[in-house]
Amino acid sequence: MIIFAVMIDSFYSLRMHSSLKGQHLSGAEGIVSFESLEGETLAMLHRALTHERGCATRIALHVESLAPQDILEGPIPELSTIEVDDVAQGRRAARALLRQEGVSPRAIDRAMQDLAAGAASPGVNMRGAMLIDAATGQRLEPDPCRGIRVSRMDLRASGKALVFEALKQFGAARLRVKEALVLAAKVQAAPAVVAELCWSDDPSYVTGYFCSRTLGYVRITRLKEPGEALGGRVFFVNLQGRVKEELIEFLQRQPFWVTGVPRIHPPRPWRDE
């Protein structure tokens, strides 16, 4: 009886990674309650089996209990959308936002080239994100094939409905947007991170985003061509004497709740300077 009571109060980190013939296919992470653990595990399994790029040939599910007092928290970013005419304009918009955050042209070129060519190796997506020095453009992740996989983060159950309501107003009430926002919120909680850039590796999903603490989460309506199966994430960092391994430990292992409801700005067209 006592054991059951302890379990009811517990949270679990739930992580899924799937691959198809040795290559990254999909992943998902969350923090779930004891009551929802079984249902959420099945939902993640279902995702791996029904991905648009194919049915996974290998699926790893990790479940790990978390002590509630070890979970840190931080705010969800503001949301806005920049409407662009084509990929070239979308990438110019992303470049301008990154420049606003002080990311060097060299670091931006490196990120965009590697995202477009395959971040793990030519033609191959990473399972995690690239870590790029915002000044020098140097890749810093210890394993450039795997990258840094951000995990152990979620919205608190009590805030989920409100966040989905806000996303509905924004025309983006989709699981992928919620998950990207949660990931971006945790990434921006790391002081060494200057900005994030992402475009999906799902061939049908061409909207990407930029995120920073000052400008928030900015969706850019087109960052790649439809049908393109290469994509990824980049975290631009300015370590300034901070220890890289501590940043990686925080991103990969620190349990994190994302709190609040995002403030939403109306979409705006991009105007090249």
Interface positions with ligand AMP (CB under 6 A): 27, 29, 125-126, 128-129, 147-151, 180, 183, 198, 200-202, 231-233
Minimum separation from the CB atom of position 8 to ligand AMP (A): 28
Task: At 224, list the tokens.
Answer: 């790649």
Q: Which is nearer to ligand AMP, 134 or 206 (CB)?
A: 206
Residues 6+ apart with CB under 8 A from 150: 29, 128, 129, 183, 186, 187, 251, 252
Distance CA 244, CA 247 (A): 5
CB of 165 to ligand AMP, least distance (A): 23
In whole angstroms, the minimum distance from the beta carbon of 151 to ligand AMP comes to 6
SS3 195: strand
Q: To the nearest whole angstrom, how small is the minimum distance from the Cβ of residue 6 to ligand AMP?
A: 29
DSSP 144-179: TTT-B---SEEE-HHHHHHHHHHHHHTT---HHHHH
Q: Which is nearer to ligand AMP, 7 or 146 (CB)?
A: 146
Nearer to ligand AMP, 178 or 233 (CB): 233
Q: How far apart are CA 266 and CA 264, in angstroms?
A: 7
Name the residue with tokens 């606003």.
100
Residue 96 or 124: which CB sits closer to ligand AMP?
Answer: 124
Residue 236: what are its φ and ψ, rounded to 5°?
-90, 125
Please, which residues have CB within 8 angstroms of residue 122's CB and are 6 or more apart in sequence? none
Contact of 154 with 40, CB cutoff 8 Å: no
Minimum Å gap between C-beta 2 and ligand AMP is 35
Q: In the bound complex, which residue of the shown chain has the CB atom lying closest to ligand AMP?
A: 200
Q: In the bound complex, what is the minimum distance in angstroms from residue 246's beta carbon to ligand AMP? A: 17
Measured distance CA(180)–CA(81) in Å, rounded:
14
Compare residues 34 and 41 and give the one whose CB is closer to ligand AMP. 41
Whichever of 97 and 251 has its CB closer to ligand AMP, that residue is 251
